[in-house]
Amino acid sequence: MKKVLIIDDDLSILEAMKLAVEMHGYQVVTLSNAEDAEARVIQVKPDIVLLDVLLSGIDGRDIAYKIKKDPNTKTIPVIMLSASPQTDRSSRDFGADDFLAKPFELHELFKLIDKYLKV
Amino acid sequence: MILMLIYLLFYLSLARDIINTNNERIMRVNLLTSKVYELEKQIEVDLLSYRFNKNISTLELIEQHTTDIYLALDEMDSYLQSESGREIRLNFITSKERALDTRNDLIDAINSNSDVEINRNYQKWLLKSQNINATLQDLTNYNLNTLRRSSDVYERAISNVYNVALLTMISTLVLVVILFFYLRNIITIPIKRITDVASRISEGHFGDKLDAASSDELGVLAKNLNKMALNLQVNYHRLEREVRQKEDALLKGRELERRKDDFISMASHELKTPVTSIKVFTQILERSSKEKGDIMALKYLVRMGDQIDRLTNIINELLDVSRIQTGRLELNLEPTSLRNLIEETCENIQATVVDHKIKCYGDELDIINIDKYRTGQVLVNLLTNAVKYSPSGGEVEMEYKNRPDDVLVSVRDQGIGIPEEYHDRIFERFYRVYDKNEKTFPGLGMGLYISSEIIKKHGGRIWVESKEGEGSTFYFTLPKNNVG
């Protein structure tokens, strides 16, 4: 089963998304503390990362940049989520593969994940 | 002073005239006196010659000469008439008349041709001559005195004139000096002081006070200046205080405005987080209800979803307004098929409405650099407005035209229309037109403001053509020359 890593500092969103993505048929690992995000990515080895831009104290775009720079993780697709649609372009500039504005329609989210996981 | 000088000059010239006349007379008298002496001598010579040669023609000469003497004396008398030497004149007249008698006697004697008579009368004549000469001597002396006296008068007059002139000059000078110091003390110094204080007041030193003790105009002026300075000081400080208060208020206002924008931005972001999870949960429930066939739950969950979307829109608009206000509205320009964007948007909106028919048509359009997300926002805003403000349904037309420098997009509805006086104001932030029929439409007055800012940011133009009750047509242009 494909593994999806969701990084968000809001526990309610994490819970909702975990539920939804699992319903859609993927294994989900959640991470609310972004401080050791890169280490967790290496450890978990997800097939895709869903990453929030505005994390408490940390800019999600920096994490995306590091994931895409590290040879061990750079092939993992990263989809950024943000409450601010303005961060779309900058997220892509930092190496993210795609962007989704919060709040979103579930079918849009599933479409994006499916696109990268080639189901 | 000038009158005095004129009087002096007049007096001087008068004196000179009198003296001149006197001198002329005296000289004439002297001349006549000499003439009389000469004629006397001539008569003596004539008589002597007659006694020797008894020539008749000599007698005629004597007659002639005695007549001349008489005429000379007569003339002298005429000069003496106006003179004050009354005694001399009387003597003179007596001498003159006696000379006339003697002369007549002499002439008679000559005519009688008696030597004795002639001789006796000649002697008598000589005596008279001496008399005349004495009188003439008196006259000469008198004249000399007169001359001396008139000369004295003249000199005195001159000296008087000089004295008066000198006195006048000195007194004038003294007067001028006194006047100068007086005016200096009374006018110049106070005016200088007033000017200095006024100038200091104009520089903001209101504390300077003028001595306003005198009751003249300058004292009044000083008093008024003091009053003015006091009023200025009071008003100045009041104004200063007000300006400071206004500045504080302005700064506070700006600070509040900034904090408000920050707050809206943060609040919107914070609002989106729970909305996101609610929306996800709602959709999960929607799916499970659909699987379970719970129509009732599904119906309300769809309604909840719509309301969540509406809430999301409001939050997004608040975020956009906040961005515009803080100058953080940035465009991501990228090559876009505007035609596709318009057609997609029309389809999406058509999918959400039942009573309206949305028609979308236009020219082939070039690929141009625009912010796809923001332009889509404008299209959605104009289309939803067109639907919203034509409550009885009908057609909504979206037309796009290819023009040389830009693309012109128009959205036409058959709705309630907008009175002309609001045509500019509807693009202002939070401005809303209230319908006459008290029918209210939901919204916060942000949509058109955001749309107009987005279009302006692209370098385009947005406007409306509308009449109340006859529908509205919104237009906007997007330039083709933007660089992505």
Domains of chain B by residue range: 2-170, 204-328, 332-479
Residue B83 is predicted with a pLDDT of 54
Q: What pairs with residue B464 in β-bridges?
A: B474
The tens digit of pLDDT for each residue in B67-126 reads 887 788 777 777 766 555 667 777 777 777 777 777 777 777 777 777 777 777 777 777
Mind telling me how many Å the CA of B276 is from chain A's nearest CA?
A: 4
Is the pLDDT confidence value at B470 over 90?
A: no
Mind telling me how many Å the CA of A48 is from chain B's nearest CA?
A: 19
Q: Of A48-52, B64-68, B161-165, B191-195, give the range with the top mean pLDDT.
A: A48-52
Percent of chain B with pLDDT over 90: 26
> Do residue B280 and residue A13 have CB atoms under 8 angstroms apart?
yes
Mean pLDDT taken over chain A: 90
Domains of chain A by residue range: 3-109
- Which token pair is B84? 């004050």
Residues of A at the B interface, defined by Cβ within 8 angstroms: 10, 12-13, 15-17, 19-20, 23, 54, 83-86, 88-89, 102-106
Residue B286 is predicted with a pLDDT of 93
Place of tokens 């133009």: B461
Mean pLDDT taken over chain B: 83
Peptide bond just before A103 cis, omega within 30 deg: yes
> Do residue A54 and residue B272 have CB atoms under 8 angstroms apart?
no
Assess B269–A contact: CB distance below 8 Å, yes or no.
Answer: yes
Q: What DSSP element (H or E) covers B367? A: strand B367-371
Cβ-based neighbours of A31, under 8 Å, separated by 6 or more? A5, A6, A7, A37, A40
B373 vs A contacts (CB less than 8 Å): 85, 88
CATH H-level superfamily of B332-479: Histidine kinase-like ATPase, C-terminal domain (3.30.565.10)
Handedness of CA A51, A55, A59, A62 (dihedral sign): negative
Residue B85 is predicted with a pLDDT of 61
What Cα–Cα distance (Å) separates residue A75 from each residue in B67, B89, B115? 173, 164, 192
pLDDT higher for B161 or B419? B419
Among A109-118, B246-255, B469-478, whose mean pLDDT is lowest? B246-255
Q: Other CB atoms closer than 10 Å to residue A60's CB: what's the count?
A: 26
What Cα–Cα distance (Å) separates residue A41 from each residue in A7, A13, A45, A50, A98? 10, 19, 6, 11, 18
> Do residue A15 and residue B277 have CB atoms under 8 angstroms apart?
yes
User: Region B140-158: what's the mean pLDDT?
Assistant: 75
CATH topology of domain A3-109: Rossmann fold (3.40.50)
CB B62 within 8 A of CB B110: yes
Assess B352–A contact: CB distance below 8 Å, yes or no.
Answer: no
> Do residue A83 and residue B273 have CB atoms under 8 angstroms apart?
yes
**ipTM (interface pTM):** 0.91
Assess B276–A contact: CB distance below 8 Å, yes or no.
Answer: yes
Q: How far apart are the C-alpha atoms of B343 and A36, rounded to whole Å?
A: 45
Which chain A residue has its CA at the smallest distance from B269's CA? A83
pLDDT higher for B96 or B193? B193
Q: Other CB atoms closer than 10 Å to residue B112's CB: what's the count?
A: 12
Residue B23 is predicted with a pLDDT of 76
Is the pLDDT confidence value at B463 over 70?
A: yes
> Do residue A54 and residue B277 have CB atoms under 8 angstroms apart?
no
The tens digit of pLDDT for each residue in B377-389 reads 999 999 999 998 8
Q: How far apart are the C-alpha atoms of A73 and A58, rounded to whole Å?
A: 19
Would the pTM count as exceeding 0.90? no
| CATH number for region B2-170 | 1.20.120
The tens digit of pLDDT for each residue in B208-258 reads 777 777 777 878 888 888 888 888 888 888 888 998 998 888 888 878 877
